[in-house]
Chain A
Amino acid sequence: MLGLEKKDTRLFLIVIGLTMLAPFLLNPFPEGSEMAQFNAGYPDLMQRFVIFGIFAIGFNILFGLTGYLSFGHAAFLGVGSYAAMWMFKLFGMNVVPALLLSVVLSGLFAVLIGYISLRRSGIYFSILTLAFAMMSYALAYSVLATDMDGPDKQGLMQKGLTGGETGLQLSVQDPRILGAKAGADGNTPVPNFFGIEMRSATEMNVGDWVFTFSAGYYFSAFVMLIAFYISIRIFRSPFGMMLRAIKSNQQRLNYTGLNPKPYMLAAFVVSGMYAGLAGGLMVAMDPLAGPERMFWTASGEVVLMTILGGVGTLIGPVLGAGLIKYMENILSKINSEILHQWFAWMPDGLEDVVVTMIYPFIGKGWHLTLGLMFMAVVIFLPGGLVEGGQRIMGALRGRKAKDGKPDADADVKPAE
């Protein structure tokens, strides 16, 4: 199907099925029950799953295929966000031109940064990308936030290009030449896809269960499926093969008379465009863009996602993104009271001991769990969750895990 091999088609169909049915699958517990707090099927979180999925897929094209570890990918996320925001402010609330501008601008930005950073490799490359991202952050935070066109009446550039600390926000005074300046209720308008508002959602009640279908989620999910499809095609293309060759032995590639630089730059730019797309989508879902999206912690997050899920695999980054966002939003909500409820069946003393032991790892301490999981994955499972899954599947089937790999050739070791 669509020029994919049978194995990839199956994977793609599974992903389509999962994303389309996500509102059901992520809401397995009935409303009002004690387990309802583990439901992740609300639009805001589901949107984050797919948007960060796109971000991680893009990062994986660079890191997974070429092995170049960028520590500044959030810069493109930020550029995409600001670009989409300006499109909303200047033209109209349709998300399609906004996303297009995000992708194009972040792509151009990636050309610039990539051209310079890719002259070095290894840790130098990481530091250069980090430096560029932190520079973008500092600029967005301070200089670009100063008043640029003086005391004009519109106040469009009142807070500069980026809005500084508070971020860039919509206003009813924005020109928006192709759309209404304000929504029907007089507030700032809502991003839409040819009339379908991103915020609109319908609820379906089945017994005790409440399922929410949000236009925003399905739009983002659709974009992610396209992004995922493109990434499969890149992984299977001669271009993808070339990138893997760069990872395994750049010198040998040079000896065969091929210049790896253009391929590297192309991978970097594609990866930056994915990040820009994710940034644009974030703004389309929630029209606010702040500089903290460019901070190095945001870059670190996408590294965590990709590694946790499985670097160099197709589906890994999406899984990693989902896992981290789930932990961030669900695990962090659990407090000691809830823990006490769970372990109420234990004898009193033991209950307290168990709760005290678990408490540091959940709730506000979820980062600790994340850090430990991340270390465990790097140490024991370099292939991430995907490799873990394959090992379990392999053990269950009682044969070598290798046979069952959906992406077996992604991590074929080069002959040295």
Chain B
Amino acid sequence: MDAILLQILNGLDKGSAYALIALGLTLIFGTLGVVNFAHGALFMLGAFCAVTLNNILSLSHEVIDETQTDFLGNPLRVEVPYIYDWFGPEVGASIIEWSVPLAILFSIPIMIAVGFIMERGLIKHFYKRPHADQILVTFGLAIVLQEIIKYFYGANPIPTPAPPAFTGSFDFGTLLGFEPGTIIYPYWRLVYFFFAMIIIAGVFAFLQFTTFGMVVRAGMADRETVGLLGINIDKRFTIMFAIAACVAGLAGVMYTPINSPNYHMGMDFLVLSFVVVVVGGMGSLPGAVLAGFLLGILESFASMRQVVDLLPGINQIIIYLVAIIILLTRPRGLMGRKGVMED
């Protein structure tokens, strides 16, 4: 029992990331009808927003510290971040420590701008072209984006720690009456899961309960009629693209403490996220979220020792295997709608 619970928990954080990326992919696909292969790159850009903010906050200048001397008796030169001068050393230090959560605020305008430029500058011209062309051009864009990041940040992963308040682990088992030490779960993963839930709930609420969201849903169902009613649906879809980019970016920001960001992390996630979208059903938002968590948890179950002993290698291929089975038995995915991508 405790082992099962532990695997479910372990699957949640990866599942959250899959669900967030798949949600964005589905939003873009559902609104604009574009298959965005650069979505993983947006996830990666978000993660590097966190790295950048950390770097900016840590910008420092040299100060001659009279109290300390080196072995020759000269006063030591120490690096002091500017932020220490402005807010005092204690507040400054905690601001730097909390750079990852702060990066959420930092990344939102950046990701919205990136999404806006991408849609207006490139994707706009590909609505009428075949899906293969859309895949290809966004694939090229993904390469370009990740190479730019590689140029500025190098090829090595950059560790970006979570705030110290969340670095420990949480003994989840004692809450439910298990032996202490059986179910230990890092705090940050819990934070990530709740963060993902908030974002997902936010997106759904936005679509469901605002006038803007209602128009967008109407546009997803029948774009032409909405246009005929005199609504500028293109503008709203552009905003939805920016929101989807933002969701991917935020997923990346918060993922940095779990996995040190490197320039190809986006592509690694993208391949799996596409599988998630297809399993969930192309164009279905709840399907994407459901499939994201489902596959994340399945992957975590498949990597249990007992399962791997029974079926060696199953942990590596489970997601693809499930995708193949689902596509062949339920061609539209778990919750796919009729008439989406069937040509």
B133-149 interface code vs A (CB 8 A; 1 in, 0 out): 10111011111100110
B312 within 8 Å of A (CB atoms): yes
Q: B294-343: which residues lie under 8 A (CB-CB) from chain A?
A: 312-313, 316-317, 320-321, 323-324, 327-328, 331, 341-343
User: Is the pair A378, B137 in contact by a Cβ cutoff of 8 Å?
Assistant: yes
User: Is the pair B316, A367 in contact by a Cβ cutoff of 8 Å?
Assistant: no
A226 within 8 Å of B (CB atoms): no
Distance, CA A382 to CA B139, complexed state (A):
15
Closest beta carbon of chain A to B288's beta carbon, Å: 14
Distance, CA A131 to CA B317, complexed state (A):
9
Distance, CA A124 to CA B333, complexed state (A):
10
B278 within 8 Å of A (CB atoms): yes
B282 within 8 Å of A (CB atoms): yes
User: Is the pair B278, A124 in contact by a Cβ cutoff of 8 Å?
Assistant: yes
A366-396 interface code vs B (CB 8 A; 1 in, 0 out): 0110111011001100100000000000000
B interface residue count range (under 10 / 10 to 19 / 20 to 34 / 35 or more): 35 or more
User: Is the pair A123, B144 in contact by a Cβ cutoff of 8 Å?
Assistant: no
Closest beta carbon of chain B to A75's beta carbon, Å: 12
Tell me the dominant secondary structure on chain B's binding face: helix
User: Is the pair A127, B136 in contact by a Cβ cutoff of 8 Å?
Assistant: no
Q: B28-77: which residues lie under 8 A (CB-CB) from chain A?
A: 35
Closest beta carbon of chain A to B10's beta carbon, Å: 19
The chain A residue sitting closest to B324, CB to CB, is A131
Closest beta carbon of chain B to A190's beta carbon, Å: 34
B175 within 8 Å of A (CB atoms): no
User: Is the pair B132, A69 in contact by a Cβ cutoff of 8 Å?
Assistant: yes
Q: B7-43: which residues lie under 8 A (CB-CB) from chain A?
A: 35
Query: What residues on A are CB-neighbors of B141 within 8 Å?
Result: 371, 375
With A69-B135, A379-B125 as contacts: A371 and B331 at CB distance below 8 Å? no
How many A-B residue pairs have C-beta atoms within 8 angstroms? Tell me: 111
User: Is the pair B274, A130 in contact by a Cβ cutoff of 8 Å?
Assistant: yes
Closest beta carbon of chain A to B121's beta carbon, Å: 11
Distance, CA A307 to CA B144, complexed state (A):
16
User: Is the pair B133, A382 in contact by a Cβ cutoff of 8 Å?
Assistant: yes
Tell me the dominant secondary structure on chain A's binding face: helix
Distance, CA A7 to CA B316, complexed state (A):
50
Task: From B35, B122, B275, B316, name the one whose CB has the most chain A CB atoms within 10 angstroms.
Answer: B316
Query: What residues on B are CB-neighbors of A146 within 8 Å?
Result: 312
A128 within 8 Å of B (CB atoms): yes
User: Is the pair B143, A367 in contact by a Cβ cutoff of 8 Å?
Assistant: yes
Q: B140-191: which residues lie under 8 A (CB-CB) from chain A?
A: 140-144, 147-148, 150-151
With A122-B131, A131-B324, A135-B320 as contacts: A365 and B136 at CB distance below 8 Å? no
Query: What residues on B are CB-neighbors of A332 within 8 Å?
Result: none
Q: A92-150: which residues lie under 8 A (CB-CB) from chain B?
A: 116, 119-124, 126-128, 130-132, 134-135, 138-139, 141-144, 146
A73-87 interface code vs B (CB 8 A; 1 in, 0 out): 000000000000000
The chain A residue sitting closest to B125, CB to CB, is A379
Q: A277-306: which residues lie under 8 A (CB-CB) from chain B?
A: 296-297, 300, 303
Distance, CA A75 to CA B317, complexed state (A):
14
13 A-B pairs in the complex with CB atoms less than 8 angstroms apart: A122-B131, A123-B35, A123-B135, A138-B316, A143-B316, A146-B312, A360-B148, A367-B143, A370-B143, A375-B141, A378-B140, A379-B122, A382-B133
User: Contacts A131-B324, A142-B316 given; 9 further ones with Cβ under 8 A?
Assistant: A124-B331, A126-B135, A130-B271, A132-B320, A138-B317, A367-B143, A371-B142, A375-B137, A375-B141
Using a CB–CB cutoff of 8 Å, the interface residues on chain A facing chain B are 67, 69, 116, 119-124, 126-128, 130-132, 134-135, 138-139, 141-144, 146, 296-297, 300, 303, 307, 360, 365, 367-368, 370-372, 374-375, 378-379, 382
